[in-house]
Each structure stands twice: as structure tokens, then as C-alpha cells.
Structure 1
Amino acid sequence: MRWSTIGATLFFSLSAFANDWPYLTAATAPFRPPRLEVSKSGTTDPGYLFIGPRGNEQSGTAALIYDEDGNLVYQGPEEVTANFKVQRLFNQDVITFWAGDMMKLGYGYGTVHILDNTYREIYTVRLQDDIVTPDGQPRESYIDLHESHITEQNTLLVTAYNITPHDLTPIGGKPDMFMLDAMFYEIDIATNEIVHSWSAVDHLDKIPLEQSKQGLGEDFGVKENPWDTYHINAVERMDEGYMISLRHYWSGYYVHNNGSIMWQLSGALGEGDFKQDESAGFSWQHDIRIYNHTEQGLVMDLFNNANTPTEQQGATTGLSLAVDLENRSVKALRILSDSDDVVHSVSQGSYQLMSQESQHVFMGYGSISKVKEFDADNNEVFTAQFGVDNQVASYRGYKCPWKATPFWKPVAVVQRPSSDAADVFMSWNGATEYDNWAVMSLPSPDSTDSKVIATQQRTGFETVAHLTGVKSGGYIQVVARRGDVPLGTSDVVGV
């Protein structure tokens, strides 16, 4: 796996922030993930928190899993990641994330990694196509960071950004300028073959340049800094095609399998193919998701940023919309906002319906380093913060049930505070199923004659057992257990 860290202007590359937020440290791992500041005010759905912070120091930038109490559970390799979450593939739970290089306009080129419940990488999804990059350099994969969604057909929906020469005089530019085309692909996960592809610039009749809310600006329109016309950030499989989200058009578009635009649902009142209540308006949105789709209607959920780095319209909210396909009307079902903590997120963000049964919603606030859970009555019941607002970002944030037993061993580190005492530090990065540790003593490194000299309940990411009457020269190993059942054993270490 290739790991790299390249910052992005819109996506907050602010490494100078490094010491402004407390970090977690461990004797058993060289990790420095941000400490979670957790507030719980009601009953929550079960699950672990999945985030991929950026803007903090390099050694803290990785795919991270925490429990609801703010304890670190897993840290992946140092890397800028996006879309880190649990999905279903071939009827099993997997974790997926994007990793790659980010451009200054907030898109990227990278690969999607799919790991099983031992953290073995079982699939690596890449995209190779005729994609032009701002530096003209080829990439091993051109998948953009915004989307990596597994379908029921075990394919992967991804976005891509392609630099395209175009006449921009209709929006006040010049005839020989450059723009970013919004593209999406459906890729067969097992083979990396492209199943379907689509390009927005091929549909100017239905998505004209003049309708983009994103101004051209003085410094944009050249190949190295193209105009970000559309900003595609979500794709979802539909009965007859795909639903896509174009942030810079404040719209979701239903794209038919043949590529044509079936309809546009705009967040701007009076635009698009639907008439919406004022409360159903939105702007600069992310993460459009579709539920309960029938011929009569559907439910559309989305993260309503309502802000950009240059424009503030109002509080960021989560929206669930009832879309009447017969009468072409839209009304708001749910508007999620924490009145005690009003957020203005200028970029990124996610809206996750945790289950149809509980109707709890988990929201990641993108450029604001917070995640929140709301109950079925739209009350905030959980908030966690992992950095200074507008200085640390996680493209999306999720809460997912997850069970994992890593293929690697637990780790034990011994420190000696005195000649007859030893502190044994124990951790097993990514493990979710153990609840206690056994410390075993051995007369030699290769001995099979071991005995339990201490047990300790699990405490967060790292547990320590304080041993007394321990002379140097001996050997120990630790065993992660669930009750009395051993799940993983460390290497032998000297005392």
C-alpha cells in the first residue's frame, strides 16, 4: 500500500496547529491520535466512531476508530484518508477507505482499500482511464476521495475529477480556459473493470455552466488551477440509474443508465424540477442518500453545509426530505441541528441514518472537527470533538458496529520503575472482542512452561499491569482474552 500526505487549501492543511489539541500516546505503539472530547446526553445506538482527521501533525493523520468513551481502538498507517467506514461486501462486514494525494481544490487521486475483520487487505480498487491531472503526471489510480460506496451488486461507485479544456465565455471567462469535469464510475471490485462511467460535461443541455453557483475567480481557469464547475461528492445506485450530488449546483440529479438526466432536485427555491417548501431548501450540500424509493416517491437525506469558505448563509443542518415524484414536490421530514452548538461547516460533511429501526442519525461536520448523534426525536444525544474548529477536518464521520480480531499479535512493553517492580503495558491495535489480559511468566524465551502471574481488565487502548517482586532476567508474554478464552498472544519479552 502506498502512503503519502499532501495538503489541500480547501481541506485545511494546517500542520502548524499540531500542538493546540491534546493527543493520546501509548508505550506500545508510536501513535499520537487526537484526544476525543466526548459529551453524551442521551441514549445512543451502539457502534464505534470512524474518522480520518487531517490538519493535525503528520503522525496523527490516519484512519482512526474510537469507542464511544473516546478510547482509541484502531489506528491505521499514517495517511490522509477519506470515507473510512464499515460496508457490506459479499455478505460480510468490511472496512473501506480512500487513500491518496489531495489537490488544493479539495479533490484527489488515489485508491480504495477494502479490509476484512482481521485488517487484511482483501481488495484494492484502482481506476485507470484517460484522466488529465493539474501537474500532467500519471497516477497509479485516479479515484477521487469524495465517494467509495459499495452497491448491492458488489461493485464500487467512485468519483473522479478530470481537467478539461473548455470555452468559459458563457460565465465571463475566455474561450481557451480549463475546468474540472465531474465524473463517476462503477467498478467491479473483484476485477477492477469499469462497469459504467459518466461525465457531466457531456450533458451541458441539462447541466449548463451558467447554473453553477461557483464563481470563476481571477486565478482560476488555467490547467494548474481549473474552475471547479460541479464538485461531485456523492453517488448512489438507483432503480434505473444513479443519484449524484453536485455541490456547486446545490442539486441532486437522477442520471439514467443511458447517461441522460431524468430530473434535478435543487436546493435553491424556484430552480430544478421540483417545487419545495422553504424549509426544504439547501445549499453547498454533501452526502445525498436515497431511501424508500418507489414510483410515487422517495426519501432523500443530505448534509446541508449552507456555507462555503467565501459565503456564509446559515447554520449547517442535516436534512431528510420527502420527495413526491408524482406531484414533483419536496418537503422537509427532519431538520437536524444542535441549538446549543450551532455549526457553520464550510466544506465536507456526512449524514448517516444509522438504522431504519432506531431512526438515529450520525453526522460528521467536515471542516468542523466534530461528530454528533441525534435520536429519533431530533435531539442531540452525543458529540465528540477531535480538534480545533476550522483547523482540523475529517471529510466524513461515521458510527458503525464492528467486530475485529487482527491478524497481527498483541504488543507488550515492560518498564521497570524499580529493581523489584515492573510495569507491563499491553495493547492490541484494532481488536474489539477481548475484555481482559493475562500476564504469563516463562523461564526462557522458547519455553512452553508458562504460568499466569497477573490478570488485568482491559482499560481503553492500552492496559498496564503493575507487578511487584519481579527480578530482572525473566521473561513474560501477554494474552488478550475474552473471559478465560485466549484470543491473541504477544511475543515473549524480557523483564
Structure 2
Amino acid sequence: MAPSMWSNFPRALALVASLACFNTAQGSDEALWPLQTYKSSSIKTPYMNVTKMGQTEPGYLFFAPQDILRGTGHPSIYSDDGQLVWQGANGNQSALQPQMLDGEPVIAYWEGYNGEGFGFGHISILNSSYDEIHRVTLDCKEQSFVTIFDPMTFSSCIDIHESQITENGTILVTAVNVTQADLSSVGGPKHGWIQDGIIYEIDIKTNEILFRWSAYEHVDEVPMTYDIAPFGASGAGTGTNKTDPWGYPHLNSIAKYEEHYLVSSRYMCSIFWIASDGSIDWHLHGRTGGDFNLTLDTSFCYQHDVRIEAQSADSVTLGLHNNDNTEFTGSSSFTTGMVIELELQGSKKVTLKRRMWDAGDPVFAQSQGSYQGLGNDHVLQDHGAVPKIEEYDENGATVMRAWFGYSDSMMQTYRAYRYPWTGRPSTKPDVVACPSGENTAVYVSWNGATDVDSWKVYSGSQVKKTAQRSGFETTILVSGLSKGEDVTVEAVGGDGDGTRSASARVGVNC
């Protein structure tokens, strides 16, 4: 993760907000990405500048934009036309993923307190009504965690990087424990400190830990010499004390396939296949090959969101977001999506199957990002530190690009996904009615609703007008209403059919 995004976020919040206000007062609003605002809701959300060049796959876009200059962040859902569908509460979120739990669609995301590229928090799991149904935690004291903020304590020590739900009702998460270590083998201090990367599999309903694996506890199989991050580099730490530990190994994604765990290490430029007993069955290094032999165009580094695309006894095919840039290397390589095939027997050759990038608008992302294989061989890719989402077709052509911030701004998101979704908010629609010439403009929105077809405007028991829903907020011009008169609006169609708003008085809250 990018330290520019995450470094001491909560403590910097007030300062950032005051700086944003100062900039606004000085007439420099142009430095801030514009926000969508609404009459019927207090929600403010980044505009999505969407360009489509072809047919995209169905589903909504899920991501959590963090506006560092304004000091805001929200888990969010958007439609392909750039319209907001749902915005959650303001907070510091990461690793948002729409997934399935017990046969039902859910949203899972991390929320908590950030350090220098890692954090301490919990995983919230929301149902289709956007209610938190589970909160997954990791007891810091029970797990003997040391943090860079000691003696500050935290109730949960789950890291920012992963929230992957398995088919068995468990969740995979990462954690970072600041640990003393001998760093002399890699040119560091003998009595040094590291960010030991740990993965956990936790039962969602009980919080019981079912699996735990620590990189440092397996240092013989995961030597520090694999790590590429130089001491003292931005985000990597000096390793000289526990408030500035060295970034070994910076784990950033986990996925489980039967009894094995696929684990990505950013600073090692490595992917590990870990057995249920903690041993490593194979290791792919993006620069040297590790247990494999890299071939033309298969080198990668600082990658994110590694997942299996296909698997057999003889080979495995991986999809990944290949940053190949960091804060300390600069921006020298295009950020791409990659699909590579690993031969598990014989020559152990690595072969490039696909590489995807937006040739008309290339990106150099230094951190974060995600890769998602969709139907029909489409791929969705988010660029993390660069506020851009792309979709590619089966031929690698860009069929959608969506910006939600300036390329050099501090609007970012860790991951983005496309997913089918039916929102069933437990709230009521929001309504404001304002005089507009000889008519009344009735503004209605329903945060999180996805399948409303139209709206009926009532005055008492009389239907004054019916209008098709249009985007997050629909504006309905109604004649024959007087200032001070009460109106209500009713949803037509979908799961929320017949749900009415509270009454709104014409001319109030305009």
C-alpha cells in the first residue's frame, strides 16, 4: 500500500481537512476532483468520468475511494454510467470485496487505523440491506502483537490488505507484527526490527483462528534475501527500531484453493504456494523465477491481487495486477494486468498468456491495485494509487475506462470489483420538495436501492405524478402543489416496491 495514502491517516485527518478548507478559501478548488452533490441527500461522492468503447460485462462497480485532501473515504457502489448506487459511512477502509457467504451476496471490507503501509482494524461484513451482520476481529493481546504505535493499543490487529471469504464460511486476512530480527544478512542492523507478515484463516461466525502462518517463522524457506525493498526507502522502513521496522515481507493478497494458500508478497516480488502444514510447495519470484524459469515478458514485481485462473496437476494459470513500480523505484514501467502459466513439472517454464493495458491512456501505478477475471474472458483492473478503473475484452481491447480523480491527485482506492448486486436498503427513500417557477421540483433518492423502476409522488392519498427513476437522484416536476404542503414519494418496482418516504413539506430544506 502507498504510504502517501495510508500514513497516519486518522491523525492527519484534521490537518488535511483544514488544508483543504484553506485551499478552497484561496480559490484553488481546481486542485480538488469535483464531487456529485444532491438535494435529497447529504451524500457527496466523486464524479465518475466513464468512457465506454465496447460492451462491458454486467454488474456494478465496487470500490472505496479515499479522498486524502478532503479527509474522507467511503465504501461505494457505482453503475457503469458513473451514477452512485450506494455510499457507506465515512471512514478509513480498504480491501472492499463483494462476495458470497452462506449462499447470499455480501460486502466485506477492512476498516481501522493505518500505519506506514499496514494497519490495525477489523473486517465488516454487510448484507444486501447494508447492515453489518458480522465483524471479524483479531485480538492483539492474545496474538502478542507489537505495533509501531506502542504503547497505543488496538482492539483488533487485522491488516488492510485482504478480506477474502472462502466457500467454507471462513475469511482470509493479513496481519503485521513488529518483530525483532537479525538483519545483518541483508545489510541491516544485527538487532533490527521487521514488519513480520502473517496470514490467518478465521471462522467468520465465531472468530476462531483456524490457520496461521508467519513469514519470519519460516525464514529458512522465505529468506530475507528475497526482499527487494532497500532500507530507508519510502514505505520500507529502516529496520533500526520498532517504530520504523523494515518491510519484510509485505504480504498483500491471499486466496485459498482446497488445502493450499496462494500468497503474494509485494516487496519480495514473489508468489508462494503454501500447504496446510505451513510448508512451501513452490515459490515464483518475478525477477529471478524462484523455483521456475521465466521466459520472454514474464517478469513482474510489486504485484497485487494474485488469483488462480485455471489449475491442473501439471500447470497453474495466475492472473495479477503488475505494478512493477514503487515509491522508491519511480514510475518507469507501464502498469499492466498479466496472466501467466506455470509448468509444475519438467521444464518449470513460465509462459505469458495475456497482458492488458490501456494503450490510449497508460498508467504508471506505484502501489495498490486489483485484477479481476470476469465472464467472457473480460478483465477488470483498478490501479490503486492512480484513480482509474479499466475493463478489457477477450482480445485485450479496452472497453471501459473510468476516472474518479486526477491522475496526480490524492484520490485513491486499494481495489475495485465488478459484481451483480440487488440492494435492499432497510431505510426509506429521501425526499425534498422545492418551489420551481410554477411547479414544484421533487427530488428523491434511496441510498443503495438498485431496482426501483419509477417513483409516485403523493399529496395525501392522491397520486400527483409518476416518473421514471433517473440515476441516484430523480428530479420530478409536479404542478398543483402549494408551499407548505406535505408530499410523499413511493417506490415502484423491485424488492422495495411500495416503500414510501417520510413526508416532505414543500419549501422546507431547499
TM-score where L is the length of structure 2 = 0.90
1:152–1:425 Cα change, 3 Å? same
State the partner residue of 2:383: 365
SS of residue in 2 equivalent to 1:114 = strand
Q: Does 1:348 align with 2:360?
A: no
Match of 1:8 in 2: 6
* Number of the residue aligned with 2:254: 235
Q: Residues 270 and 284 of structure 2 are in contact (CA less than 8 Å); yes or no, is this contact kept in structure 1?
A: yes
Distance 1:28 1:97 in 2: 27
Question: Equivalent residue of 2:36, what SS?
Answer: coil
CA distance in 2, matches of 1:483, 1:308: 46
Deviates further, 426-435 or 283-292: 283-292
Q: Which runs of 5+ in 1 are unaligned?
A: 1-5, 443-449
Is 1:253 the counterpart of 2:272 in the alignment? yes
Answer yes or no: is the 8 Å Cα contact 1:434–1:487 preserved in 2.
Answer: no
Matches within 5 A, 1:251-290: 251-268=270-287, 270-290=288-308
- Measure, in 2, the Cα distance between the counterparts of 1:430 and 1:267: 41
Return the letter of the residue paired with 1:434: V
1:493 alignment partner in structure 2: 504
Provide the C-alpha distance between the structure 1 equivalents of 2:45 and 2:503, rounded to a whole number of angstroms. Answer: 27
**Correspondence for 1:441 among 453, 459, 470:** 459
TM-score (norm 1): 0.92
155, 172, 178: which is aligned to 1:140?
155
1:68 matched to 2:86? The reply is: no
Counterpart pick for 1:206 among 212, 221, 224: 221
Q: 1:60–1:35: structure 2 CA closer, same or farther, 3 Å change rule?
A: farther
Counterpart of 1:447 in structure 2 is none
Question: Could you tell me how far apart the structure 2 residues matched to 1:484 and 1:397 are?
Answer: 26
User: 2: distance between equivalents of 1:415 and 1:59?
Assistant: 31
Report whether the alignment pairs 1:458 with 2:469. yes
For 1:484 and 1:429, the matched residues in 2 are separated by: 14
What is the letter of the counterpart of residue 378 of structure 2?
H
Match of 2:144 among 130, 137, 155: 130
Q: 1:426 to 1:190 in 2, by over 3 A?
A: same
Cα distance in 1 for residues equivalent to 2:57 and 2:277: 40
Alignment correspondent of 1:411: 430
Distance, in Å, in 2 between the alignment partners of 1:27 and 1:109 is 37
Following TM superposition, by how much is the alpha carbon of 1:330 offset from its aligned partner in structure 2, in angstroms? Answer: 1.1
Q: Which residue in 2 is equivalent to 1:3?
A: none
The 1-side partners of 2:498 and 2:416 are apart by: 29
Structure 1 stretch displaced more, 190-199 or 238-247: 238-247
Equivalences for residues 162-177 of structure 1 within 5 A: 162-177=177-192
Structure 1 residue aligned with 2:317: 299
Q: Judging changes above 3 Å, is the alpha-carbon distance between structure 1 residues 487 and 144 closer, same or farther for their aligned structure 2 residues? A: farther
- Pair 271,485 (structure 1): closer, same or farther in 2 beyond 3 Å: closer
Q: Which residue among 456, 468, 490 is the counterpart of 1:479? A: 490
**Contact 1:10–1:347 under 8 Å retained in 2:** no
User: Aligned Cα RMSD in Å?
Assistant: 2.1
Contact 1:250 1:267 in 2 (8 A): yes
Deviates more, 1:186-195 or 1:112-121: 112-121
1: CA distance, partners of 2:446 / 2:325:
41
Rounded Cα–Cα distance in structure 2 between residues aligned with 1:483 and 1:188:
34
Q: Deviation of residue 217 (structure 1)?
A: 1.8
**Aligned ranges 1:101-120 → 2 under 5 Å:** 101-103=113-115, 105-120=116-131
Counterpart AA for 1:353: G
Task: Report the alpha carbon displacement of residue 169 of structure 1 after superposing the two structures with TM.
Answer: 1.5
Are 1:155 and 2:158 an aligned pair?
no
Structure 2 portions without partners, runs of 5+: none
8 Å Cα contact 2:424/2:496 also seen in 1: no
CA shift for structure 1 position 118: 1.2
**Kept after mapping to 1: 8 A contact 2:440/2:477:** yes
* Count of matched residue pairs: 478
1:220 aligns with 2:238: yes
What is the rounded CA distance, in whole Å, between the counterparts of 2:390 and 2:356 in structure 1? 10
2:100 aligned with 1:88, yes or no?
yes
Residue of 326, 335, 338 corresponding to 2:345: 326
Q: Percent identity?
A: 36
Helix, strand or coil at the partner of 2:185:
helix
Q: Tell me the distance in 1 between the aligned counterparts of 2:8 and 2:168.
A: 34
